[in-house]
Amino acid sequence: MLDRINKAQNMIETACKKLGKQINIMEVCGTHTVSIFRNGIRTILPDNLKLLSGPGCPVCVTDQSYIDNVLQIADNKDCLIATYGDMIRVPGKGGSLETKQTTANVKIVLSSEDALQLAKDNPDKTVVFIAVGFETTTPATAVAIKEAHADSVDNFCVLSGHKLVVPAMKALVSTKNDHIDAFLCPGHVSVIIGYNSYKEIVEDYGRPCVVAGFEPIQIIEGLAEICRQLADGKTKLESVYSAVVTAEGNTIAQKIIEECFEPADGYWRGLGEIEKSTLKIKDKYSKFDALKRFDITETPVEDTSGCQCGEVLCGLIDPPQCKLFGKTCTINTPIGPCMVSSEGACAAWYKYSLKEKP
Amino acid sequence: MKTDKNDRILLAHGGGGQLSDELIRHHILPRFDNNTLAELTDSANLELDSKSICFTTDSYVVKPLFFNGGDIGKLAVCGTINDLAVAGSKPVALSLSLIIEEGFEFKLLDKILDSISQTARDNNVNIVTGDTKTVEAGAADKIFINTAGIGVKLDGIDLGFKKIKAGDKILINGTIGDHGMTIMSQRKDIKFQSQLKSDCAGLADLITKLLEGSNGVKFMRDPTRGGLAVTLNDIARQAGLSIEINQADIPINPNVQTAADMLGFDVLDIANEGKVVAILSAESADQCLNICRKHPLGKEAKIIGEIVKPKNVPIVEMTTIIGGKRIVHIPYGRQLPRIC
């Protein structure tokens, strides 16, 4: 493996030397972010190659209004909240699921299937599944909705916070900002959506897109491919994760998503409202839609904490440039979601980075 | 009124009357047969060979009660023994306190008591005093155990943070993260199926051999909750020195690594129950490594890094497998599985 690493590292160095200016590559996946920091990848890259952590951590991009809605539902004593672990520490109005609730009505689940089982095991409670995540987790949520429908598990519902990756990438490069030279595209999401989904970013927006897996060597090889393209003046769509990612993706999973969800305009933390970027539950399954069951409207809330997670997610600042980073916002006392989530850029920076630690 | 094997704990088993007596005489005493306990005095009378003793206590609330590689009883004995052993003492006597939820099945209680008895025998310690309490259903989760222990200081052994110097080597006696990942995989709310096994083991024998066979051991700690990350950070902070470790040298079972990767955990943060981290003088490192590797609990022992002078503040830094560098941070108190 060391041979492959050396080869890729040399390729990066040669390309960056040739380019002779700062190159900004955005990784659009929280798992990439964590792997990059945990393996110290930034520390072996040339000084003029900068990695930006993009909006790829599901907890981080979830708008404040969604968190507040979750906390509001959790106040209902007849409800059981079924959530992925990362969500329980995100602060909202008056606390977080961790501080506001007890483990009695907040259950950590690893899958939508576990949430549905919770509903079957607790018929006297309404189980609300806090469904966040990109195209990786959406098919499983859709399967749970379909199963709840088929088995008439009427005490189960879903608060959909599901999002689509590509509209957010387009929003980032279609603004006037030209700080992103290329994208390292997510591995898991691409398994579902297929690498052809990034075609528009490459062809219409002129940014190289390379799909990579999560092992350090796969990330480094992905970066090497991007650097080579930039140095050669090329803009191409590539996958260095060809063992699992195909051009079309998993069409069965795509169909299941389409059956239960439809794209809708929606709010992202930091990026604001993005056209057709979130997934809402189709009318056919509306009885499993927590928004309808609890008569909740999604209204964006202004964040007054001074947290700059939004700018971090857009790659406009590095976490240490945020006024709160390492001062009032730490791993133990997180203010913004990027510090809460294990996949957040601020948490990764705080935990693993050697430099710029206050 | 003799209790049947299928019976369950009643509140009255903790009431000090006939049922309490039954519980002690039929379930506890026969398993921990020793003269000190048999006297059933209010306090155990112990004759010790040394003026200098180590004394520790720990409580055990692990769920599930039974896991691959151990159970709450084995853990309660090993955990306290290990705390005594890493302080440079030979464990000699333990107390055993049980807090049992009303309705708990006797057959499970007996299984746990058998395990405690066996583990104590295996590690040459006696249970010399104890207590049982019962609480209403819902006031505790099945059974909680507290053990306290006394160890006799080994002759001429003086361990401490103050002895640690730049250049000292760091040894671990085997793979990390096995206990924590096993527990997590078996927990009811994380139905992650796997073939993992806890490393739960009493380390007194290994540690005694290490201390008797080398005079280069300066400090030891068992990296339990918070894993290697917390232990190394504690050592760095208390010694006022930095630590550099090499990821490629840290023994990790591939199944543990896979499970941790899937849940988004860092193996360095995961609990161990049969591991010791020892800080050694550079000259004694090979000797200590050899002693460890000859012991069944130290076959996979490795030198994983060294103590260095801090550049600024004391930190723990790791050279990763790809040659990158990163900080090893103290984890937040609760492991939360990631979304995808």
Same domain, A81 and A130: yes
Residues A44-95: tens digit of each pLDDT: 999 999 999 999 999 999 988 899 999 989 888 899 999 998 888 888 877 8
Tell me the C-alpha distance between B200 and B104, whole Å: 24
**Which residues of chain A neighbour B192 with C-beta distances below 8 Å?**
110
A298 belongs to a structural domain: no
A225 belongs to a structural domain: yes
Same domain, A280 and A322: no
Q: What is the pLDDT of residue B338?
A: 63
User: Which chain A residue shows the shortest CA-CA distance from B266?
Assistant: A38
Residue-range definition of the domain harbouring residue A340: 309-352
Same domain, A132 and A257: yes
CB-closest option in B317, B321, B338 to A354: B317
**Which residues of chain A neighbour B318 with C-beta distances below 8 Å?**
40
What residues of chain B score a pLDDT lower than 50? Answer: 1, 5
Whether the Cβ atoms of residue B134 and residue B100 lie closer than 8 Å to each other: yes
Q: Inter-chain contact B338–A134, Cβ cutoff 8 Å?
A: no
Q: How many domains does one find in chain A?
A: 3
A121 belongs to a structural domain: yes
Residues A19-42: tens digit of each pLDDT: 999 999 999 999 999 999 999 999
Q: What is the pLDDT of residue A320?
A: 94
Same domain, A77 and A158: yes
User: Which chain A residue shows the shortest CA-CA distance from B327?
Assistant: A352
Q: State yes or no: cis peptide before A263, omega within 30 of 0.
A: no
Tell me the domains of chain B and their CATH numbers. Answer: 11-153 (3.30.1330.10), 161-327 (3.90.650.10)
- Residues A22, A28, A31, A34, Cα dihedral to 10°: 30
Same domain, A151 and A70: yes
Q: What is the pLDDT of residue A119?
A: 97
CA distances from A160 to A30, A250, A288, B217, B338 (A): 19, 21, 10, 56, 17
A270 belongs to a structural domain: yes
A17 belongs to a structural domain: yes
A138 belongs to a structural domain: yes
Per-residue pLDDT of chain A (358 residues; tens, 9 = 90+): 789 999 999 999 999 999 999 999 999 999 999 999 999 999 999 999 999 999 999 999 998 889 999 998 988 889 999 999 888 888 887 788 888 766 668 998 989 999 999 999 999 999 999 999 999 999 999 999 999 999 999 999 999 999 999 999 999 998 767 899 999 999 999 999 999 999 999 999 999 999 999 999 999 999 999 999 999 999 999 999 988 999 999 999 999 999 999 999 999 988 889 999 999 999 999 999 999 999 988 777 777 788 999 999 999 999 999 999 999 999 888 888 899 888 899 999 999 987 644 3
> How distant is the alpha carbon of residue A200 from its chain centre?
20
Whether the Cβ atoms of residue A128 and residue A159 lie closer than 8 Å to each other: yes
Whether the Cβ atoms of residue A312 and residue A332 lie closer than 8 Å to each other: no
Tell me the C-alpha distance between A90 and A68, whole Å: 10
In 10 A of CB A310, how many CB atoms? 20
Task: Find all residues with CB under 8 Å of A52, minimum gap 6, and list them.
Answer: A24, A25, A26, A27, A179, A180, A315
Same domain, A160 and A177: no
CB-closest option in A39, A58, A85 to B337: A85
Write the ipTM. Answer: 0.83
Q: Inter-chain contact B320–A84, Cβ cutoff 8 Å?
A: no
Q: Inter-chain contact B337–A40, Cβ cutoff 8 Å?
A: no
Q: What is the pLDDT of residue B40?
A: 85
CATH number at residue A76: 3.40.50.11740
**Which residues of chain B neighbour A332 with C-beta distances below 8 Å?**
332
User: Which chain B residue shows the shortest CA-CA distance from A331?
Assistant: B332
Question: Phi and psi at residue A213, in whole multiples of 5°?
Answer: -80, -165
Tell me the C-alpha distance between B110 and A3, whole Å: 56
Same domain, A197 and A345: no
User: Which chain B residue shows the shortest CA-CA distance from A88?
Assistant: B336
Q: Inter-chain contact A41–B324, Cβ cutoff 8 Å?
A: yes
Tell me the C-alpha distance between A335 and A209, whole Å: 32
CB-closest option in B192, B327, B332 to A110: B192
Same domain, A132 and A63: yes
CB-closest option in B266, B322, B337 to A110: B337
Residue B212 token pair:
């008797």
What does chain A come to in residues? 358
User: Which chain B residue shows the shortest CA-CA distance from A342?
Assistant: B338
CB-closest option in B319, B324, B338 to A85: B338
Same domain, A330 and A192: no
Q: Inter-chain contact B339–A133, Cβ cutoff 8 Å?
A: yes
User: Which chain B residue shows the shortest CA-CA distance from A4?
Assistant: B322
Same domain, A176 and A322: no
Q: What is the pLDDT of residue A93?
A: 79
Helices (H), B187-284: 204-213, 227-239, 254-263
**Which residues of chain B neighbour A88 with C-beta distances below 8 Å?**
336
CATH number at residue A215: 3.40.50.11750
CB-count exposure of residue A78 (10 Å: 0-12, 13-18, 19+):
exposed
Same domain, A106 and A194: no
Q: Inter-chain contact B266–A38, Cβ cutoff 8 Å?
A: yes
**Which residues of chain B neighbour A352 with C-beta distances below 8 Å?**
326-327, 329
Q: What is the pLDDT of residue A103?
A: 60
A243 belongs to a structural domain: no
Task: Name the nearest CA neighbour of B267 among B173, B195, B179, B192.
Answer: B179
**Which of A191, A216, A237 corresponds to the end of one domain?**
A237
A96 belongs to a structural domain: yes
The helix-helix angle for A251-260 and A138-150 (nearest 10°) equals: 60
Same domain, A26 and A67: no
Q: What is the pLDDT of residue B5?
A: 46
